[in-house]
Chains A and B, each alone.
Chain A
Amino acid sequence: MPAPSVSTLDAADLPLDAFQVRVQAEVFDASTETTGLVAGRTDVGAVVTFTGLCRADDQNGTPLAALTLEHYPGMAEEEMDRLLQEARTRWPLSGARLVHRYGRMVPGDPIVLVVTASAHRGAAFAAAEFLMDWLKTNAPFWKKEERPGTAADGTWVEAKGTDDAAADRWQKG
């Protein structure tokens, strides 16, 4: 039997930190995360980076002063890890990072980061979109909005049907 040609990296050959999930209060830097993901790699042909930011108005155009993100410690990391594992069964990823912040954020602050790396752009684009869609409906995070000039307590954001629809697109028939 001829030896198989060595064309792609085996999962076993990937760096130990090629796939990373983090939940943190601190601000992240998308560029540092992307550089870290591909450092020393020669098998990556495409990197897609998505950053979700806190906006100054909500979906109805109402002004927003700040957002507070609550999460379920432990499950948040585990669920994000499960999403990453699911993405790896669907696309040939060479690496990925998922970073989600919690705590209080003001407009302009980064909230969530998805970085996917693959040999080709198709897989990197698709996996990034899939991860973001599923993260919104499956990762245990909840947003509370503060309005300018109102009491600091705020109101909980309601889940959107459009997010469920976006996540459902990826259901396997």
Chain B
Amino acid sequence: MKVLYFAWLRERVGVAEEQVEPPVEVRTVADLAGWLRARGGGHAHAFENPAVVRAALDRRHVKPDALLHGAREIAFFPPMTGG
């Protein structure tokens, strides 16, 4: 699936998007964040405090316990500061 990063998550990971193939036991948004964090380096830095990371599945806001199955695109970003 495609993973997008925005704002300081993008800067810490070092790329705006990437294609990932997580193992089957990665079922939820929180699972994926933990799996990405375990890659170390910039990913570990980006996901060091999961409580401040928000996510969207196929362009809709979701909670950490949302299931990934069938999603084409997931985005991780900090709380929004537009307006």
Contact = CB atoms under 8 A, between A and B. Distances in A.
Complex A-B, nearest 8 residue pairs according to Cβ-Cβ distance, in ascending order: A141-B82, A159-B79, A136-B83, A142-B7, A75-B59, A157-B81, A143-B81, A156-B8
B27 interface: no
A52 B78 CA distance: 21
The A contact surface, by secondary structure, is mixed
Contacts of A74: 59
A159 B8 CA distance: 13
Interface size class of A (residues with CB under 8 A): 20 to 34
Contact of B82 (A78, A136, A156, A158): A136
Interface residues of B, number: 16
Interface in B51-76: 56, 59-61, 75
Contacts of B56: 72, 75, 140
Interface of A: 52, 69-72, 74-75, 78-79, 100, 111-112, 132, 135-144, 156-159, 163
